[in-house]
């Protein structure tokens, strides 16, 4: 992965690539840039923030895993804290296309899992599809978010989604990214650390429509644990399931899904739906070696 990132540097202006190379080579580089790092880059290269973020998109797109389309989409989300988070599209062979993660969803869920509660800007190398516009409409403070595309002026997000259908049409006022506690309590007496991590993720999941609160925790062969939270959408189909959120973080951390040893999936079953079959199907394709544990609450 780091090799793909470094080879994407050749798509950047030489001076910028030279400046970024040591940052990307640092072992602790985590597919994000701090507000300070970004400000320094802008100053050193006499570029404004939007032009710099657009210039960096080939690096975000280098994280794409487009097994089916070979179409690389990159996005960068700027969090309310001022930090910048990379994202890229993920496609999965041998399962329904509905499992796909769009670059915008990747960058947004990356920012969410790293503690952001609002976003101020999203930069993307292609125009966001209708599904992504709908996904963005679910976010806390969507009114304040700007969208910037190559060769386009920065626009308010709502210019990209006039006459929006959204959470308020279903009388829902809790937005995605706002801090949550779904008050789920453990059902296992001898709790396992992965179970606890999955339960904590389920407690922070956004499922105001089905109440099918769900979270996942994946243990890698290097001991690292990655979690994922379910993110529902008012239009239902653009919802992002928890395994996809975790797989995205694993990929952005330069790790491989083949490194997953164990998965704990916890969900509170809602009125009619459950995610466990989808999660097991996707898991058995991307990480056939992983042991999958399921806990319904
Ligand atoms: N894609 C995105 O990542 N964002 C968009 O809004 C447009 C489409 C991805 C999804 C899929 O992996 C590939 O591009 C082809 O649609
Ligand atoms: Zn999209």
- Domain of 17: which CATH number? 3.40.140.10
Cβ distance 198 to 217 under 8 Å? yes
Nearest to 57 by CA among 92, 26, 25, 20: 20
If asked whether residues 13 and 108 sit together in one domain, one would say: yes
- pLDDT tens column, 149-158: 999 999 999 9
Same domain, 116 and 205: no
In a domain, 186, yes or no: no
Q: Are residues 151 and 222 in the same domain?
A: no
In this structure, the answer to whether residues 151 and 214 fall within a common structural domain is no
Pair 63, 31: CB distance under 8 Å: yes
Q: Which atom of ligand 1 is nearest to the CA of 105?
A: 3
Confidence of residue 190 (pLDDT cuts 50, 70, 90): low
Please check whether residues 65 and 199 belong to one and the same domain: no
Is residue 232 flagged as an active site residue?
no
Q: What is the DSSP letter of 27?
A: T
Same-domain status, 18 and 152:
yes
Burial class (CB in 10 A: 0-12, 13-18, 19+), 73: buried
How many A from CA of 26 to the centre of ligand 1?
A: 29
Burial of 248 (0-12, 13-18, 19+ CB in 10 A): buried
Task: Please report which ligand is nearest the Cα atom of 65.
Answer: 1
Half-sphere exposure of 62 (CA within 13 A, CB side): 20
Q: Annotation-wise, does 132 bind a ligand?
A: yes
**Residue 199: inside a domain, yes or no?**
yes
pLDDT of residue 58: 98
Q: Report the percent of the chain where pLDDT is more than 70.
A: 98
pLDDT tens figures, 22-57? 999 999 999 999 999 999 999 999 999 999 999 999
26 found inside a domain: yes
In angstroms, the CA 293 to CA 216 distance is: 10
Say yes or no to pLDDT of 107 above 80.
Answer: yes
136 lines ligand 1 (CB under 6 A): no
Asked whether residue 174 is domain-assigned, the answer is no
125 marked as part of a ligand binding site: no
What mean pLDDT is reported for the chain?
96
Mean pLDDT for 244-250 is: 98
227 pLDDT band, cuts 50/70/90, is very high
> How far is it, in rounded angstroms, from Cα 235 to Cα 210?
12
Quote the pLDDT of residue 27. 93
The domain tally of the chain equals: 2
pLDDT at 59 over 90: yes
In a domain, 200, yes or no: yes
pLDDT at 186: 83
Residues 9, 45 within the same domain: yes
What pLDDT does residue 3 have?
Answer: 87
152 domain residue, yes or no: yes
What's the predicted TM-score (pTM) here?
A: 0.98
Please indicate whether residue 80, judged by its CB atom, sits closer than 6 Å to ligand 1.
no
Which of 146, 165, 184 is the last residue before a domain boundary?
165
Q: Which of 19-33, 104-118, 175-189 has the lowest mean pLDDT?
A: 175-189
Catalytic residue among 49, 104, 138, 267: 104
Cross-strand bridge partners of residue 293: 264
- CA-based angle 89:248:245, to the nearest 5? 110
Q: Are 52 and 38 in contact (CB under 8 A)?
A: yes
State whether the beta carbon of 133 lies less than 6 angstroms from ligand 1.
no
Q: Choose one of 61, 69, 71 to mutate for the ligand 1 pocket test, by most ligand atoms within 8 angstroms of C-beta.
A: 71
**129 known ligand binder:** yes
270 — pLDDT class (breaks 50, 70, 90): confident
65 lines ligand 1 (CB under 6 A): no
- Residue 197 tokens read as 């991590």
Domain extent at residue 272: 193-296
102 annotated to bind ligand? yes
Q: How far apart are CA 231 and CA 105, in angstroms?
A: 10
Same domain, 16 and 158: yes
Using pLDDT thresholds of 50, 70 and 90, give the confidence band for residue 191: confident
Q: Per residue in 117-174, pLDDT tens?
A: 999 999 999 999 999 999 999 999 999 999 999 999 999 999 999 999 999 999 999 9
Partnered with residue 260 across adjacent β-strands are 220
Q: Given this model, what pLDDT does residue 1 score?
A: 59
Indicate the DSSP class of residue 168: G
Please report, in angstroms and rounded to a whole number, the separation of the first and last CA atoms in the chain: 37
Does 170 reside within a domain? no
List the structure tokens of 245.
């959120």
CA of 59 to the centre of ligand 2 (A): 18
Query: Which long-range CB contacts under 8 A does 160-169 form with residues at least 24 apart?
Result: 160/128, 160/133, 161/133, 161/134, 161/136, 161/137, 164/137, 165/134, 165/137, 165/234, 165/235, 166/137, 166/138, 166/234, 167/138, 167/208, 167/234, 169/234
Residues 212 and 136 in one domain: no
CA of 295 to the centre of ligand 2 (A): 31
CA distance 106 to 32: 12
Q: Looking at the structure, do residues 80 and 7 belong to the same domain, yes or no?
A: yes
Considering the chain, what percentage of its residues have pLDDT values greater than 90?
A: 94
Q: Same structural domain for residues 150 and 208? A: no
pLDDT at 170: 98
Q: Which of residues 116, 147, 165 is at a domain's end? A: 165
Evaluate whether residue 50 is within a structural domain: yes
Same domain? For 199 and 240 the reply is: yes
269 band by pLDDT with thresholds 50, 70 and 90: confident
Q: Average of pLDDT values for 97-126?
A: 98
Of 165, 183, 204, the last residue of a domain is: 165
pLDDT of 112 over the 90 cut:
yes
């Amino acid at each position: 992965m780091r090799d793909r990132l470094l080879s994407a540097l050749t798509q950047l202006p030489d001076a910028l690539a030279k400046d970024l190379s040591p940052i990307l080579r640092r072992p602790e580089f985590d597919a994000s840039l701090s507000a300070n790092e970004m400000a320094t880059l802008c100053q050193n290269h006499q570029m404004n923030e939007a032009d710099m973020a657009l210039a960096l998109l080939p690096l975000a797109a280098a994280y794409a895993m487009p097994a089916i389309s070979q179409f690389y989409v990159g996005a960068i989300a700027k969090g309310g804290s001022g930090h910048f988070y990379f994202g890229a599209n993920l496609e999965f062979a041998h399962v329904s296309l509905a499992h796909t993660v769009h670059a915008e969803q990747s960058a947004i869920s990356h920012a969410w899992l790293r503690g952001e509660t609002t976003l101020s800007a999203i930069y993307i190398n292609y125009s966001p599809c209708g599904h992504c516009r709908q996904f963005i409409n679910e976010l806390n403070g969507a009114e304040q978010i700007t969208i910037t595309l190559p060769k386009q002026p920065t626009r308010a997000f709502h210019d990209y989604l006039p006459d929006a259908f959204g959470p308020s049409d279903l009388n829902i006022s809790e937005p995605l990214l706002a801090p949550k506690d779904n008050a789920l309590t453990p059902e296992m007496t001898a709790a396992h650390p992965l179970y606890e991590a999955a339960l904590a993720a389920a407690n922070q999941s956004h499922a105001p429509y089905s109440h099918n609160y769900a979270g996942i925790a994946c243990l890698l062969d290097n001991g690292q644990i990655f979690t994922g939270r379910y993110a529902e959408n008012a239009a239902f189909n653009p919802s992002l399931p928890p395994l996809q959120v975790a797989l995205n973080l694993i990929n952005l951390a330069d790790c491989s899904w083949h490194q997953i040893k164990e998965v704990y999936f916890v969900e509170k079953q809602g009125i009619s739906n459950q995610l466990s079959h989808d999660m097991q199907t996707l898991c058995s394709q991307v990480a056939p070696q992983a042991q999958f544990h399921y806990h319904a609450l």
